[in-house]
Each structure stands twice: as structure tokens, then as C-alpha cells.
Amino acid sequence: MNNQPVNQPINESQGQPVNENVAKPAGQTYTYQQQPASVQPNTQPPFNGSPSHSVKSKVRVPITKLDSFFTAAFLILSIIAVDFGLFGGFNLGYSIAVAALAVSLIIYASASRRFTVLGFIYSVSAVAISSVFTVYGSSFSKFIQFFAVWGLLELALLDFTGCGVYPKGSWKSGLDLLRLAFITPIEKLGVFFGSFREHNKQKQPGGKRFSAAIGGVLCAIPVLGIILPLLISSDAAFESLVNQTSFANVPRLFAAIIFGAVLFLYMFTAIFAAAKGVVAKKKEPSAKPNFGINPMGINGFLSVISFVYLTYLFSQLSYFFGAFSGFLPKDFTVSEYARRGFFEMTVICAINLFIVGVALIFTKRDEKGEVPLSTRGLCAFISVFSLAVIATVCAKLGLYMSDLGLTKLRVYTTVFSVMLAIIFLFVIVRLFIRRFPYFRACAVFIAVLGVAVSVVDVNSYIAYYNYEAHNVGILEELDVDYLAELGDAGVPYLIKLLDNKEFAEDAAQELYYKGYRYGEIDYNYFDKNFDREFKPDYNDYDFRSYNVARIKAGKLIEENWDKICDIYVSTTKI
């Protein structure tokens, strides 16, 4: 039986007691052995033939002043992030909250472990994408960018702390990302609370004061829910003061605190575990692999697939490469040609990625731990074939867009195709350069591409291109309804169409109904002499809801309101 005192910290690597007065390296993992006061021999038979259950050691880590400070900081920032982001409509407030969280993450993670340039690039990319929430207003783009921001912050945390289980640069690093995002926050919640509890038991006045202060603040919250409404109703001056702060909306404040606390626990548990190095034990690659499928079987499978692809490529030359020469196959319209190409790209390339991945993972390696050259060659051919498919599809999409204009689906399809092509290129490089960090390369490229697409703004570019392409004669038709669907980005071009006799009626109708989004309108449908006063409310929100595109669009409608009403009334039967 272990004779160590109860709750004595044990160094896992050496199994020796640790002197609490000696400084410990950052991120060092410790355990506290939990033992009963007395141990009686076990006379119970094993359950279902299994050994008797022993008391498991619980992982605990030393808490520093840095940990205590950033625990409080992240709690406050999480509440602010919910209030500024969720309740601010994901505009300026959300950009501010993400920037503050990213800076805190950089300082805490790098101070606890190390600073890396790549982690800094991920963090800056996340902040850059989040800043776009202040400038543009596309809901669909924000939906994609929301996940991109948090994915980049997770990558930054992985790189700063080096807490990944698998070798860096490998495709398995993606599994580390998923673990950190979905498993660690739940799995390490006990480590987070237990470490702080053990810290307070060590009779450290600072830790006790910190815990007492946090407990007091939490206890004051429900009491404020009763006191604040009474104070507001009792005094006009205090009511005016409160109305200028976040306390004006008590339900919103309490919701921000509750959801912020949940966000804090989910987010900071992962950050804390990664910074302390207790996410998971690293998996060292084995020198002699003892599993895998015989390369001859994999090669036979890949050879059949490659032969079919080669035959398909030669039999469809006039179809595939017709996109590059600008003419269509017989009995095909532009729409049919492009849509069929996209379907082929998504299905074929998805299958090819899966095939190449499975082949490289499950092929039995040689004495040097490498996949046989023949297998890598066949995988390279399938990847090159996939690049040819992607290239022809991009050409078809170009033909499609030059004839019918841009839409969000067409633009995002093109971006996705470029991303997929780069992934295949990195796979080809990795096939012949073993140490090439292809996962990192893919992550950096996708981050840069995401920043570029976010800064340009898909909706703004679509509105600009379709309007200008029609003016110079590239597009024969202009879809006014689709310009209106682009939201704030389409308003400037709808205003310009008011001077175009062909589109003025449709543009005025779309702008009139959009006026309800940017202001108050007093309009009696049965009276042409209605009051045309436009009372703007697009700038009545506080700074958290501020959005450049929305303000710009609202001002344009306000300035052109009389012209919009004139055209709308003259072309509407009343």
C-alpha cells in the first residue's frame, strides 16, 4: 500500500512527492492520490469475473496567479461576448468581443506554454474575419464566418500549447481539433474545478479571497434582480442613469450572465486543460508497424479505379475540356452544362479524397515506416485526375457566370473548388515528401482564403459585378429581385437603377418595402397623398449593433425617399 499522505501531490513522471515550495515547470501534470483512512481487505467476489475496482487517482494541477487572473478575465469576457455578440446582432459588439478573447488567449496560452508565429497567424486571422461583422451584413456569410472564427482560435490554442495527441502536420491533427472542441470541455471539467478546490485547501489567503469574491459576486446577482427594478421605479434620475447602461434591460443582462457562464465553462475548460498540458497523452509513432493491409491488395484496388478514371477521361474529352474552348456539347444549355459538372466534381472528388485517405492509412508500411512507392504513385494519379476535374468545373462555372451572372451559390462553389484543388496539391506533395506538414499547410491556406473572401464580401462583389457587367453588355439580363435579396449590399445598386427606365419600377418597389427595415413609414395604401415622412431608425441602436453596411444603406434610402415614393406611386394601381 502507498504510504504517501492523503492528497500529497505526486509527480507522475517519477512517482515522488513534490515540494510545494519549489517552483514547478509550466504545464507540469500532477495527481493527488485519494485513499481511504483505513483499507480493509476486499472480500467481495469480482463483479462478472472482473478485478475489484480500485480508487482512481484524480488529476490536479498547480494554480498560479496567472491562472486565477485569466479565469476571472475569461468569465467577464464570456459574458461580454454573449451580450455584445448574441444580443448585439453579431455586429460591432461581436468584433470587439472576439478581439478581446483572442488577445487574452494569446497572452494566457503563450505565457503558460510558449509563443508561436503560426498560432499568432491563426489568432490574427480570426480577428480579421470577425471584424468583417462590423462592415458587412450578409447573414449567410456571417453564419460561415462564425464557425471559421472559432475554428481558427482552436487551431491557435493547439499550436500555442502543443497539446495535440498526434504528430503535428499530420491529418490526424484534425482529430486533435475535434477533441479540443467537443470532448475536452466536458472531459476536463473536473480537472478545472478540482484544481482550484485543491488550491484553496492549501491555506493560501490569496486563493481564498479570490474564491470568496467570486462567490459573493454570484450570490449578488439574483438579489440585484429584485433590487434594481425597485430602485428604477422609485427614482427618475437613477432610472435615466440605468437606461444608459446595460442594466436598463435586466432580463437581457441576466440572460447574458447565464449564457456567458455556460460559454465560459465550455471555452475556458479547454483553454485551461491545454495550457496545463492535461488534455491527453501523446501517441508516439511505433518504429515497426504491425498492422495494415497488404500493399498488393491496395494497389489492385487503386489500379482498377485508376483504369476506370483513365478510360472515362479519354471517352469524355469533348465533354470535359469543351469548357476551356468556350463551346457547349450538342443539346446542352449553359445551365445544364455547369450544373452537371459541379455534381461530378463534388461526388468524384469526395470519393477520391476518401479513397486516397483510406489507402494511405491502412496500407501496411515497410521497414522505414513508409507507404510503398507504387501505392503512392496510384494515389498521385487519382489526385491529379481530381485536379483535372476541378479545373474543368471551374471553367464551366466561369462560362455559367459570364452568361447568367453571379449568385452566392456560384461564388461559394468556385471558392470551394479552389480550396479542394489546393488540398489535393498538398496531398500530392505529402505523397513524396514525408515530412511535409500538409495539415498545417491546408489550415494556413484555408485561413488566408477565408480572410480574403470575408474582406471582399461575397454579397457586395455579386451586386457590383452583376450591375457593372450589365452596363457594359456582358450580361444581357439583370435580376433586380436578386439584387434585393443581397440585403444591404444590394441597396446602392437599386438606388442607381431608379434612373434606368427599364428597371426603375422594380427597383422602387423593392426599395419601398426595404424602407420598413431602416425606418418608420406612415403610408395609407388607399391614399396617394400619404405622408412621405421617413423616420430613420437604422442608427438608433447602441454601439454593439453598429454595422457600416446597414447605416450606409439606410442613409441612401432616406436621401432618395421622395424619388422612391414618386416612382412607386406612379406605377402602383391604387
Angstrom distances, CA of residue 421 to CA of 130, 303, 339, 387, 425: 26, 22, 19, 6, 6
Q: Is 502 exposed, middle or buried (0-12, 13-18, 19+ CB in 10 A)?
A: exposed
Among 437, 456, 475, where does a domain finish?
A: 456
Same domain flag for 450 and 304? yes
| Mean pLDDT confidence for 105-116 | 90
Cβ pair 158, 177 in contact under 8 A: yes
Cell of 135: 462592415
Name beta bridge partners: 535: 520
3 state DSSP class of 228: helix
CB-based contacts of 154: which residues, under 8 Å, 6+ apart?
A: 177, 180, 181, 270
Q: Give Rg (Cα) of the chain.
A: 31
Among 456, 483, 506, where does a domain finish?
A: 456
Identify which of 64, 62, 278 has the alpha carbon closest to the alpha carbon of residue 162: 278
Strand intervals (E) in 272-392: none
pLDDT value for 515: 86
CA atoms within 13 A on the CB side of 323: 28
pLDDT value for 367: 79
Same domain flag for 206 and 73? yes
Same domain flag for 442 and 520? no
Cβ pair 374, 299 in contact under 8 A: yes
| Amino acid in position 249 | N
Tens digit of each residue's pLDDT (9 = 90 or more) over 181-216: 999 999 999 999 899 888 877 755 555 565 666 667
The answer, yes or no, to whether residue 480 has pLDDT greater than 90, is yes
Q: Is residue 476 part of a domain?
A: yes
Cβ pair 383, 352 in contact under 8 A: yes
Same domain flag for 159 and 307? no
Same domain flag for 340 and 360? yes
Same domain flag for 266 and 199? yes
Q: Is residue 287 part of a domain?
A: no
The answer, yes or no, to whether residue 319 has pLDDT greater than 70, is no
Q: Is residue 288 part of a domain?
A: no
Q: How many structural domains does the chain have? A: 4
Q: Is residue 49 part of a domain?
A: no
Among 276, 308, 330, where does a domain finish?
A: 276
> b/e string for 258-268 if b means 16 or more Cβ within 10 A?
ebbbebbbbbb
37 vs 552, more confident: 552
Q: Is residue 366 part of a domain?
A: yes
Same domain flag for 31 and 123? no
The answer, yes or no, to whether residue 348 has pLDDT greater than 90, is no
Identify which of 264, 244, 274 has the alpha carbon closest to the alpha carbon of residue 176: 274
What is the extent of the structural domain holding 381? 295-456
Same domain flag for 81 and 228? yes
The model's confidence at residue 2, banded by pLDDT at 50, 70 and 90, is very low
What is the DSSP code (8-state) at residue 180? I
CA atoms within 13 A on the CB side of 241: 9
What is the DSSP code (8-state) at residue 182? I
- 323/220 Cα distance (integer angstroms): 68
- 568/540 Cα distance (integer angstroms): 27
Which residue matches cell numbers 515530412? 435
pLDDT value for 247: 57
Tens digit of each residue's pLDDT (9 = 90 or more) over 55-80: 445 788 999 999 989 999 999 999 99
Cell of 289: 508497424
Backbone angles phi, psi at 521, to 5 degrees: -125, 130
The model's confidence at residue 336, banded by pLDDT at 50, 70 and 90, is low
Same domain flag for 227 and 165? yes
pLDDT value for 374: 94
Own/partner contacts of 369-374, CB < 8 Å, gap of 24 or more, are: 369/285, 369/287, 369/289, 370/434, 371/295, 371/431, 372/295, 372/299, 374/295, 374/299
The model's confidence at residue 339, banded by pLDDT at 50, 70 and 90, is low
Average pLDDT, the chain: 80
Same domain flag for 194 and 243? yes
- 557/538 Cα distance (integer angstroms): 11
Cell of 442: 491546408
The answer, yes or no, to whether residue 18 has pLDDT greater than 50, is no
Same domain flag for 30 and 161? no
Same domain flag for 266 and 381? no
Distance of CA 535 to the CA centre of its chain: 38
| Mean pLDDT confidence for 423-449 | 92
Cell of 252: 437581457
State the maximum Cα–Cα separation within the chain, in Å, rounded to a whole number: 97
Q: Which residue stretches of 316-433 are H helix?
A: 317-320, 322-325, 334-362, 373-404, 408-432
Q: Is residue 249 part of a domain?
A: yes
pLDDT value for 413: 84
Cβ pair 383, 312 in contact under 8 A: no
What is the DSSP code (8-state) at residue 521? E
The answer, yes or no, to whether residue 153 has pLDDT greater than 50, is yes
The model's confidence at residue 343, banded by pLDDT at 50, 70 and 90, is low
CB-based contacts of 448: which residues, under 8 Å, 6+ apart?
A: 125
Q: Is residue 329 part of a domain?
A: yes
| Mean pLDDT confidence for 480-495 | 96
- 211/453 Cα distance (integer angstroms): 45
Cell of 167: 504528430
Q: Is 2 exposed, middle or buried (0-12, 13-18, 19+ CB in 10 A)?
A: exposed
The answer, yes or no, to whether residue 88 has pLDDT greater than 50, is yes
Q: Is residue 377 part of a domain?
A: yes
Strand intervals (E) in 95-213: none
